[in-house]
Amino acid sequence: MISAFLMGFFLGLSLIIAIGAQNTFVLRQGILGHHIFYVAIFCALADTFLIIAGIAGLSFFLNSFINQFSNYLYGFSSIWLASYGFLRLKSAFKSDKTIKIEASKSMELFPTLSILAILTFANPHVYLDTVVLIGSISQQFHGVDKISFALGAALSSFIFFFSLAYGAKLLAPKMQNPTSWRVLDVLIALIMFIIAINLASYSNWF
């Protein structure tokens, strides 16, 4: 149960940490101090909804398919995670990325959440990461372990978005340093490789 929870937590955390439109928007709101709680809770609940949809949906609609082709499913998920890990390593050694946030006048709550909804649900990667990838990997667990995996993945979203929003003023100066991003990319790559190896072993690929 604990191992399933930790896998869900670290997988969710690794997938969600990236420079992107949504995370940059959350950072900006945190720095400006505008609607911080609502922005963080919206992102966390949106992620949780998609994670549950992926885990429960795949279990319900694709149960027989997953049971029949589980080795291939977990094997390809392992390859995808390993590939993502190599991309993060490449980024760590070749990139000089930073975060730049420009201050501007505060918007009302509804327009703010409307923009955030578009940035969240119009991004195809969010469905690949939550519904497809997390949903697929969860199928190796059953009963309480599957619930623990889902709780771990969902908790990672709550911790990440609230930490990002409320810690933005402290985090932003550090993330303007490319070295900080290199260290973060290496850590993400290591987590991806560990999970990929576990999946490959589970699917009897080696």
pLDDT digits (tens, 9 = 90+) for 138-189: 878 888 999 999 999 999 999 999 999 998 878 767 766 777 767 777 887 8
Tokens 């918007």 found at: 107
Q: Quick check: pTM over 0.95?
A: no
Whole-number pLDDT of residue 29: 83
Position 23 scores a pLDDT of 81
List strand residue ranges (DSSP E) for the chain, in order. Answer: none
Taking only the tens place, the pLDDT of each residue in 40-81 is 999 999 999 999 988 887 656 655 555 666 667 667 777 877
| Domain range list for the chain | 2-202
pLDDT in tens, 147-158: 999 999 999 999
